[in-house]
Amino acid sequence: MAASSLVKTKRDGTITIIDGTSPTANEYTVSFEIGDFSYSEEKADRTVIRDRGAIVGLRQGDDPVLSLSFSVHLRDLTNTTADVLLDFLYNRGYASSSTSVVSTGGTGFEQYLVDIKFTIDANSVDSGEAVQTITFAKCLCVYSLSEGDPDSLEISAECYGGVTLGYTP
């Protein structure tokens, strides 16, 4: 398949929050997004090897803590009868009682963590386009609320389990 010539836009993106329930994870598809998903790929810290001040090598240091963010229009802070974004991210409300979400962290991770999948699907524009995904594993999410017209939530996440790229022609 040749490289795409179709420029992607915010209309092609979908964000899905995934918990650690096995064998079938619970998923929450984010709606009323602003379309500002943001992530920058970082490499491991660098350890410069020197011989009397002259650079003679470069080694990998510590893995970075990756971060991502996105914004949504505020609809609910919590809900006891339906899944809402913040309940799914914080394991509270309906998500903790009825859906029974499970952390993706596993052993060694005390906080409640989720996976976040960003999907780019432009098939509605061109049926020959591949669906591409980037999945962030073991994310710790926090939010900030901004009042306005409309009110909005800024979701920020730190990724502790790495990133996986997907490509489906």
pLDDT exceeds 90 at position 50 = yes
pLDDT in tens, 129-145: 889 999 999 999 999 99
Q: What is the mean pLDDT of residues 34-62?
A: 96
Give the position of tokens 């952390």.
Answer: 103
Q: What is the mean pLDDT of residues 44-70?
A: 97
pLDDT of residue 169: 84
Q: What is the mean pLDDT of residues 56-76?
A: 97
Name the residue ranges covered by the structural domains of the chain: 10-168
Specify the CATH number for 10-168; select among 2.60.40, 3.30.70, 2.30.110, 1.10.1750.
Answer: 2.30.110
pLDDT exceeds 90 at position 53 = yes
Give all strands (DSSP E) within the chain, no chain letters.
13-18, 27-29, 38-39, 46-51, 54-60, 66-73, 114-120, 131-146, 152-159, 163-168
Q: How many other CB atoms are there within 10 angstroms of residue 134's CB atom?
A: 17
Tell me, what amino acid is at 90?
Y
What is the pLDDT confidence band of residue 1, given thresholds at 50, 70 and 90? low
pLDDT of residue 103: 95
